[in-house]
Each structure stands twice: as structure tokens, then as C-alpha cells.
Amino acid sequence: MNEIRFVYKNKNKWEEFEQLLDSGYSANPDNLSDLFVNLTDDLAYARTYFPNTRTASYLNQLTQKAHQIIYQSQPVKKNRIPAFWKYEFPLLVYSARKEVMVSFLVFFVSVLIGLVSNKYDPDFVRIILGDHYVNMTLANIDKGDPMAVYKSMNQVDMFLGISINNIYISFLAFIFGIFTALGTGYMLFKNGIMLGVFQGFMAQKGLLLVSVSSIWIHGTLEIFAIIVAGAAGIVMGNSLVFPGTYTRLQSFRTGAIKGTKMVIGLMPVFLVAAFLEGFVTRYSNFPYVLKFSIIGLSLIFIITYFFIYPRNLKNKDLSYGKSTS
């Protein structure tokens, strides 16, 4: 790619970024971090292929200005952690909403496959969930408490164990993205099959409503977080396969940073899901209205925090940048 084509392809992005910096956007500098990563990659590309040019000089000045705003403002350092979850994390997930949708579709299809396979193959549930788990569940059903597995441990021990396990699964779903999106797809497919088989098994026992009202108390947040972790893996995998105008290493670096931030941002979600599983799901005799209220609140949080809120933030930022330009 020659310099003229490089400038033509990226000049609108640079101009918008410069307008944000000039508009006083430094009040919320964490929102600029993802754009800053792209800018540094453009600078590295220009220094490699167009050194000692006006383009390289311009990008160098713009990068220095952005760096000063993002990293050298003392109030930002003090508030960096809460600002991450207030601004940067929801915007990151929203910017990857296409990957989130792909991740959801892979997971949803695998759940359907698990349901259908369980229906037509009586032994499939034992292949996927294991004889021990199936026998234990059957024994609990015979005792009249199909959800007794959630009462088998102390609340705190269960909370800690589930937190560690869910975070481990999310990192696997992300890390497998290094094998391209197919690696992450495998992890999503595996977990979706397990969920579909379990729900199908409970439905065959006439316990679909009981199982849905219980496991989705924590599962709503937990499953969505796994889907987002899968989206982070897809982001990283695609950055390796489709580098665009960047070198493969530069593209992978950007994708890996973005994906890592997405997974790290999910930690509070996994902790809340683990808390619900350890302390709330075990009470299977709760009224259905209370159970589904918790599930509904979880859905409202997901829709609001990950889609409506960042969309409004983005629209507000763009309109503010235009009004000050």
C-alpha cells in the first residue's frame, strides 16, 4: 500500500479522533483507549513504510497528544478502575456486537443440537454429562429434589469453586481464539451441547419448568458472559486471519488487547453469577414469580448495560464532537 492510499483509507478516522481530543473529551479519557491502540498501530505502520514523511510526523504528534490526555492526567489514574467498567468495557462489548451475535448463534445452535441428540439417543446424555452426574441427578429426582446438586456444598465453597471454574472456562473460550475463530467456536459448541443435553434430559423427566426456573437464576448472567468471552476469542482470531491494512502482528496485537479487556471486564459478572448459584439457586422451593423476577432483572441488566447504555454513550460522544467542531 502506498502512502496516498494509506492516508485516504484512514484520514476520516484520524480527523474524528483529533476532533475528540480537541473537544475536551479528556474528561473521560478511558473511552479513547481503544482508538489510541489503533492510532499507535497506524503510527507503527507509517514509520515502517513511510518514514520521515508528513504522514508519520502527523501521526506521531497526534499519538503524543492522545498519550498525554490518557495516561498523564492524575484524576484519570485515581478513577481508572471504575471508569473502565463505567465507559470502556461496555463500549468494547458494544463495538464487538457482531462477534457477540456470532458467538450467540454458535452457542444457540449447539444447544439445539444437544436437545435433538438427547431426544433421539437415550445414551447421549451419559456420553456428554457422564454416568456419575446422570445417576446422581436421577437419584435426586427420585428423592423429590431434582436441584439438590446445588445444595451439596457449603455456600461459600460453592461460590468460590464456581467463580474459579467459570473464569477458567471464559479464558479458555478466549484463548482458543489463537487457533482462529474455529478454536473459540469449539469451546462454545462444547458448552452449548452440555446445556442442551441437560435441559432436554430434564424435559424428558417432566421437570423443564423446574430446571429452567432454577438454573437460569445464575445461568442468565453466566451464559451471556461465556458468549461475550467467546466473542473476545473471535475478535482475536479474526485479527490474526484478517489483518486488513496492518501487518499480521500489529493486527493480532490490537485484537488480543481488545479481547483481553473484554474478558477481564467480565469478572464482576461471573462473580455475581457465582453468588447467585451458590446462595440463591439452592432454594428450589422459592416461588416461581421470585425466580423469574431474578431472571428478568438479569436480562434487563444485560440489555441495558451492554447494548442500550453504550449505544447512547457512543451517540452522545459523536454528537458532542460534531457540535464542537
* pLDDT value at residue 67: 66
Per residue in 74-103, is it b (16+ CB within 10 Å) or e — as a string?
Answer: eebeeebeebbebbbbbbbbbbbeebbebb
Highest mean pLDDT among 49-63, 233-247, 290-304: 290-304
Please, what is the angle between helix 97-120 and helix 181-204, to 10°? 40
Cell numbers for 39: 492510532
Please give the model's pTM, rounded to 2 decimal places.
Answer: 0.76
* Mean pLDDT computed over 263-274: 93
Cα–Cα distance between 204 and 242 in angstroms, integer? 44
Is residue 83's pLDDT more than 60?
yes
Which of the four pLDDT bands, split at 50, 70 and 90, describes residue 245? Answer: low
DSSP string, 107-123: HHHHHHHHHHHHHH-TT
Cβ neighbour number for residue 285 with a 10 Å cutoff: 7
DSSP letter for 26, please. Answer: G
pLDDT in tens, 137-171: 999 999 888 888 887 777 887 888 888 888 888 88
Q: Alpha-carbon torsion 258, 160, 221, 315, what sign?
A: negative
* Mean pLDDT computed over 23-46: 64
* pLDDT value at residue 220: 96
Is residue 75's pLDDT more than 60?
no
